[in-house]
Amino acid sequence: DAGVIQSPRHEVTEMGQEVTLRCKPISGHNSLFWYRQTMMRGLELLIYFNNNVPIDDSGMPEDRFSAKMPNASFSTLKIQPSEPRDSAVYFCASSFSSSNQPQHFGDGTRLSIL
Amino acid sequence: GQQVMQIPQYQHVQEGEDFTTYCNSSTTLSNIQWYKQRPGGHPVFLIQLVKSGEVKKQKRLTFQFGEAKKNSSLHITATQTTDVGTYFCAKGTGTASKLTFGTGTRLQVTL
């Protein structure tokens, strides 16, 4: 069975550029989560969706970050314009939407903003 | 949101020694999940604890949920080099699928 699929695996770009990260959740899962992981701040929840609807975006750092889920099998996280402090590993995870469900993580996108 | 604290932040053991990481919350937890992240990898679900005082075992790993449901622990008996990684606890809300991850404990095992 396919797990959560993220692309790209690595992205290196210059500050000011737009960055788009992509995620395909596990089929049948109706919750999708975007996390950011850094040494300083650990694993932070940025936003999560239930049934394609954003439920909690309180972790989104600022207006430069936006996330969409146009359908049950695809989500994007966009940073525009990007800054060096956005450099991190970004994980997407999915799960069933009821409580007490384990989350399944993708391999992550390692983002470097120069 | 309220962070879940884990101690220690880092531990270095020799292969064969035991290891324990603790997860503490100032509020009562509805449930606690544990994840392992290998270096360069992604978090992988290990187990979930729901009941007060619950103890679950997976081979050399023992997971406990405190009686007051405010803390949890993961104990590894006789560590192996394959145990290397960062162990996270994560608290659930009890009503939704959202989790808040702890600060993590990084385990290094040497021969």
One DSSP character per residue, B38-74 reads -TTS--EEEEEE-STT-EEEETTEEEEE-TTSSEEEE
Kindly state the DSSP code that residue A103 receives in the 8-state scheme. Answer: P
Chain A residue with CA closest to B41: the answer is A107
Please name the residues between 78 and 107 in chain B that touch chain A, using a CB distance below 8 Å. 88, 92-101, 103-104
pLDDT value of residue B98: 87
Q: Of A58, A103, A109, which to mutate for an interface test with B (greatest number of B Cβ within 10 Å)? A: A103
Q: B62 falls in which pLDDT band (50, 70, 90)?
A: very high
**Nearest residue to A20 (alpha-carbon basis) of A93, A89, A90, A77:** A77
pLDDT value of residue B4: 85
CA dist., res. A64 & res. A13, Å (int):
16
Chain A residue with CA closest to B40: the answer is A107
Residue B51: other Cβ atoms inside 10 A? 10
Q: What is the CA B21 to chain-centroid distance, rounded?
A: 6
Q: A3 falls in which pLDDT band (50, 70, 90)?
A: very high
State percent of chain B over pLDDT 90: 86
Would you say residue A1 has pLDDT above 80?
no
Q: A31 falls in which pLDDT band (50, 70, 90)?
A: very high
Kindly state the DSSP code that residue B89 receives in the 8-state scheme. Answer: E
- Token pair belonging to A60: 């989104």
> From the list A50, A100, A105, which residue is nearest B43 (CB)?
A105
Would you say residue B2 has pLDDT above 70?
no
Q: What average pLDDT is seen over chain A? A: 95
For chain B, what percentages of helix, strand and coil (3-state, to nearest 5) are there? 5, 55, 45
Would you say A45 and A33 are in contact if contact means Cβ atoms under 8 Å apart?
A: yes
What's at B32, amino acid-wise?
I
How close does chain A come to B105, measured CA to CA in Å?
11
pLDDT value of residue A71: 95
CA dist., res. B76 & res. B84, Å (int):
11
State percent of chain B over pLDDT 70: 96
- Token pair belonging to A95: 């799960």
CA dist., res. B21 & res. B58, Å (int):
16
Average pLDDT over residues A32-39: 96
Q: A100 falls in which pLDDT band (50, 70, 90)?
A: confident
Would you say B72 and B63 are in contact if contact means Cβ atoms under 8 Å apart?
A: yes
Would you say residue A82 has pLDDT above 80?
yes
Would you say residue B97 has pLDDT above 90?
no
Would you say B70 and B11 are in contact if contact means Cβ atoms under 8 Å apart?
A: no
CA dist., res. B35 & res. A67, Å (int):
25
- Token pair belonging to A45: 């929840």
Would you say residue B65 has pLDDT above 80?
yes
Distance (Å) of CA B46 to CA A62, A66, B57, B59, B83: 33, 31, 11, 12, 13
Put simply, the answer to whether A107 touches B41 (Cβ < 8 Å) is yes
Question: Considering only A18-32, A97-111, B6-20, which range has the smallest mean pLDDT?
Answer: A97-111
CB contacts of A9 in chain B (<8 Å) are none
Would you say residue B25 has pLDDT above 60?
yes
Average pLDDT over residues B5-25: 96
pLDDT value of residue A98: 79
